[in-house]
Amino acid sequence: MMLSKAATGLVNLLETEVAGDVTLDALLARLRGMSLQDFGAFFISLPNPNYPKLSSRLPHMASDEVQRSWTGNSGFPLLLQTSAFVEAVAKASLKYRRCALRGARMLDYGCGYGRIARLMYFFSDHADVVGVDPWDESIRICRADGLGDTFIQSDYLPKTLPVRGMFDVIYAFSVFTHTSERVTRMCLTTLVDYLAPGGLLVITIRPVDYWMSNDYAAAAGKREELVADHHASGFAFLPHNRAQIDGEIAYGDTSMTIEWLQNAVPSLQVCGTERPRADPLQVYVYLQRRREPE
Ligand SMILES: C[S@@+](CC[C@H](N)C(=O)[O-])C[C@H]1O[C@@H](n2cnc3c(N)ncnc32)[C@H](O)[C@@H]1O
């Protein structure tokens, strides 16, 4: 674990002070005394044999195998990608919501094993970071690692979500990079209903050049066809070898244009995009509910 000296001092102190009845939120409040990078590095080290008391109170990180199988990477290199996204969401919150991310009620849509949610505890209390995912195994892992019952199984084609209330920030990292056209349209339309007034939706999408690095598309001899689909309709989808859901394969690899997004879900407005330097093929898109003309 690569922690700064100040953060090491803080966790050493907390480990000696932590009492049996301390709440998770009280611990999170103390841990926010370190930087986001240290907070993330400490969280991915859990359970940590040097800190048995803190390890028994805080969520554990998923195994390396789970991290690689859901997100293609693990450990510190993956943490760099995760914190880059979380920092971008924090900046976008200030820019588009005109409000700091601190204390925001957040929904992690397609949360997987809760990789990003763990870092969002840097900003918000436990009950305010909610996660949904249609894959039962994702939710099983989140709960087994101690993320709790705010992580809930949803539908692949959701008309509603199994959550209560609205969210200041909804994010979906590497979810709409995998969904079919019908599923993408339906999920985004449903998400609008859960966006609080002035709320921010952050998703990632693949640009057309993604197909040149997709070996699966190359092996299937489909690269040119997918590029042509992307240019012709603004959306390209290569289904994976999976069971059908409601008459179609819902999951695969996906690229789309901003114009497609804008037309597919007119109730949303794209307010900005960003191609992160570390992973330019995972484009961040910032959206808000479209304002009715006055
Ligand atoms: C590549 S993983 C990313 C997980 C997580 N967002 C992360 O970045 O660590 C894609 C996730 O999307 C979920 N997913 C697939 N179809 C979905 C849908 N229709 N709605 C929401 N999530 C979906 C999968 O179950 C999986 O957990």
Per-residue pLDDT of the chain (294 residues; tens, 9 = 90+): 689 999 999 999 999 998 778 899 999 999 999 999 999 999 999 999 999 999 999 999 999 999 999 999 999 999 999 999 999 999 999 999 999 999 999 999 999 999 999 999 999 999 999 999 999 999 999 999 999 999 999 999 999 999 999 999 999 999 999 999 999 999 999 999 999 999 999 999 999 999 999 999 999 999 999 999 999 999 999 999 888 888 889 999 999 999 999 999 999 999 999 999 889 999 999 999 998 766
Give distance in angstroms: CA of 23 to centre of ligand 1: 30
Rg (CA), the chain: 19
Give distance in angstroms: CA of 18 to centre of ligand 1: 35
Residue nearest to atom 8 of ligand 1 (CA): 173
The verdict on the CB of residue 85 being under 6 Å from ligand 1 is: no
The verdict on the CB of residue 110 being under 6 Å from ligand 1 is: yes
Domains and CATH numbers, the chain: 5-57 (no CATH), 73-289 (3.40.50.150)
The verdict on the CB of residue 60 being under 6 Å from ligand 1 is: no
Nearest 5 degrees, angle CA 61-CA 107-CA 190? 135
Give distance in angstroms: CA of 97 to centre of ligand 1: 25
Q: For a ligand 1 pocket test, name from 175, 194, 242 the mutation site with the most ligand atoms within 8 angstroms of its C-beta.
A: 175
* pTM beyond 0.85: yes
